[in-house]
Chains A and B, each alone.
Chain A
Amino acid sequence: MKQIFALLSGLIFGLGLIISGMANPAKVLNFLDLFGTWDPSLAFVMGGAILITSPGFFWLTRTRSRPLFATAFRMPQKRDLEPKLIVGAGVFGIGWGLGGFCPGPALTALPIGAAGTLIFVPCMLAGMWAARQFSGRPSLLKAGTE
């Protein structure tokens, strides 16, 4: 059951990205281009998502002791603003601004088969693998990856 719902969640997430226009890097890059062809759509995507997720998470964790098909809600427990967080976010933002893709839209757009996407996704996976190796502290990563 848990796998079926994970699949369903991924499918809804991907369709949401397509409908919102976020599987199109041009829209993301235009959101980031305040002084050019600015397209504010991305703010509405994040806003819409938070509008559901914020009360949804609150309600779940207050009224339920555990998820339907797992033992516990795995909320990230880390609190400290370590350099790793800042450096990682900074590097991620540069890549996002270069290609217009973050991980969700890149994977969603992969089957469309644009040449740029076919290059981006394997490199992204290699970068993820490298970060997992480089970090070398599995216990921290396990608790900390949001």
Chain B
Amino acid sequence: METAFTPWLSLGGGLMIGASAVLLMATNGRIAGISGLASRIFARDSDSEARGVSAMFVLGLLLAAPLWFLASDGWPQQWVPASPILMAVAGLLVGFGAVFGSGCTSGHGVCGISRGSVRSIVATLVFMATAFLTVLVTRHLI
């Protein structure tokens, strides 16, 4: 399905994401990496402080769409792949890969690149490459 190119909204939303990452660093000293924060809620080696901060950040994420719903005329527009097996496999790979590879789009792609981290630049290039290839295969080759 086609989606409209939204340069200004996407840039604006991106600026907000950046502001959020700076706010979290300025107040809590933590990287706004969602895979790190989400997995720290239940990781064995997390201390209670890390658990609490991570849980509150994730709670904030979960409240965003309901707040949007209350403030506007409905849920944000979306189309989600419907195949249960595809989404189950995708979820497992995303969760495992992000934590095993020490970060996802936010931790590596935004925060890591902003710090000039070579690890994050390499990780971003790798996951972009495998993601582009995956879509090439699923949409054009099979």
List residues of A whose CB falls within 8 A of some B CB: 1-27, 29-30, 32-37, 39-42, 44-54, 56-57, 60, 64, 66-76, 78-81, 84-104, 106-112, 114-117, 119-132, 134-135, 138-139, 141-142, 144-146
In contact, A66 and B25 (Cβ under 8 angstroms): no
Q: How far is the CB of B109 from chain A (nearest CB, A)?
A: 6
In contact, A146 and B103 (Cβ under 8 angstroms): yes
List residues of B whose CB falls within 8 A of some A CB: 1-7, 9-36, 38-40, 42-45, 52-54, 56-68, 75-84, 86-115, 117-120, 122-124, 126-136, 138-140
Name the residue on B nearest A35 (C-beta).
Answer: B140
The answer to whether residues A95 and B90 also contact, given A3-B56, A6-B28, A52-B21 and a CB cut-off of 8 A, is yes
* Chain B residues, Cβ within 8 Å of A85: 101-102, 119, 122-123
* Chain B residues, Cβ within 8 Å of A134: 96, 100
* Chain A residues, Cβ within 8 Å of B59: 7, 10
Q: How long is the Cα–Cα vector from A93 to B117 in the complex, in angstroms?
A: 19
Name the residue on B nearest A92 (C-beta).
Answer: B97
Tell me whether chain A's interface is mostly helix, strand or loop, or mixed.
helix
Within the complex, which residue of B20, B36, B93 is in contact with A10, where a contact is CB–CB below 8 Å? B20
In contact, B92 and A126 (Cβ under 8 angstroms): yes
Q: How long is the Cα–Cα vector from A12 to B36 in the complex, in angstroms?
A: 18
